[in-house]
Chains A and B, each alone.
Chain A
């Protein structure tokens, strides 16, 4: 009886292996509809991520990109304004118009008292 059971068990094991082989070799059921939905999800996620990344992209490109964008055709008025402001600053710095010169003279004393915080060493030597 035990021999019969063992033979049955062996046969079942072989049968199982054969069954597993057949299951692995079986043609998978059609999943085209599901794959279309999965792919649609993939595209939605890609687009959503791209939309999140876009607004912060110019900030990461640095000042050169911003300058090029400013000087590009179509931004002529902004570039002209920037240039005018720059030239005005340079001109004011060099010419120093009268009002500015007046303020400078008012703040600057005619004679300057010099306070000697650290006496010269020669003074001590002369006394000694």
Chain B
């Protein structure tokens, strides 16, 4: 049976197959989790190269724990997010608090490309979001990214961050307020500079 990213097999079953030596299961797990883990690490670190290192390390830990995996104790995705969160925290503590390496300007898009203006607007919006996320305190950033960008439920976020659900709700709410304040000066980037309301 060919296994790929669209395989319907549950994560734990794939991991068991991997532990038994199944190459196809290794491919399916790689396709299923690597992009998600990379996206999460990139949002937290703001650095693609570092995020790739963290992703590779997290996946390596998954391969190594596969023979001892207990499916009743954790979901594979939750476990991976937790590993990435811890690895990122270690990196952020280890490195000096240097400015996040995000572009100040949007890359040029060819004027004659179809939808060029829309693409530029989209890039501007994503760049504004990344800058605003980078300005959040670490725990707020983790909670906001997990909730609003990774789309996880609060109980799962609580398990990943090792805190209670109420603490997750608090971090998320405060994170959104901080984010809104950080973005308030970038109405142009968000695309509604002309929507001024009357008093």
Contacts and interface: CB of A to CB of B under 8 A. Distances in A.
Interface of A: 3-4, 7-9, 11-13, 15-16, 18-20, 22-24, 26, 28-29, 31, 34-35, 37-39, 41-43, 45-46, 49-50
Contact of A12 (B29, B59, B184): B184
B179 interface: yes
Contacts of B21: 46, 49-50
B16 interface: no
A20 B130 CA distance: 11
A24 B35 CA distance: 13
A43 B66 CA distance: 13
B183 A26 contact: no
B163 interface: no
A16 B176 contact: yes
B39 A37 contact: no
B64 interface: yes
Interface of B: 18-19, 21, 23, 26-27, 29-31, 34-35, 38-39, 42, 48, 52, 55-56, 59-60, 63-64, 66-67, 122, 125-126, 128-129, 148-149, 151, 176, 179-180, 183-184, 190, 192, 195, 197, 199
A41 to B, nearest CB: 5
B192 A23 contact: no
A45 B25 CA distance: 13
Given A19-B190, A24-B149, A35 B30 contact: yes
B47 to A, nearest CB: 13
A24 B151 contact: yes
A45 to B, nearest CB: 4
Nearest to B20: A46
A31 B183 contact: no
Contacts of A12: 180, 183-184
Contacts of B64: 45
B63 to A, nearest CB: 4
A23 B35 contact: no
A23 B130 CA distance: 10
Contacts of A18: 190
B18 A42 contact: yes
Contacts of B39: 28
Contacts of B149: 20, 23-24
B30 A45 contact: no
B5 to A, nearest CB: 10
B128 to A, nearest CB: 8
Contact of B63 (A29, A34, A42): A42
Contact of A37 (B18, B27, B56, B190): B56
Q: Which 5 A-B pairs have the closest CB atoms?
A: A42-B26, A12-B180, A45-B63, A20-B148, A38-B59
5 contacts: A7-B197, A13-B176, A31-B34, A42-B30, A49-B19
A7 B179 CA distance: 16
A35 B129 contact: no
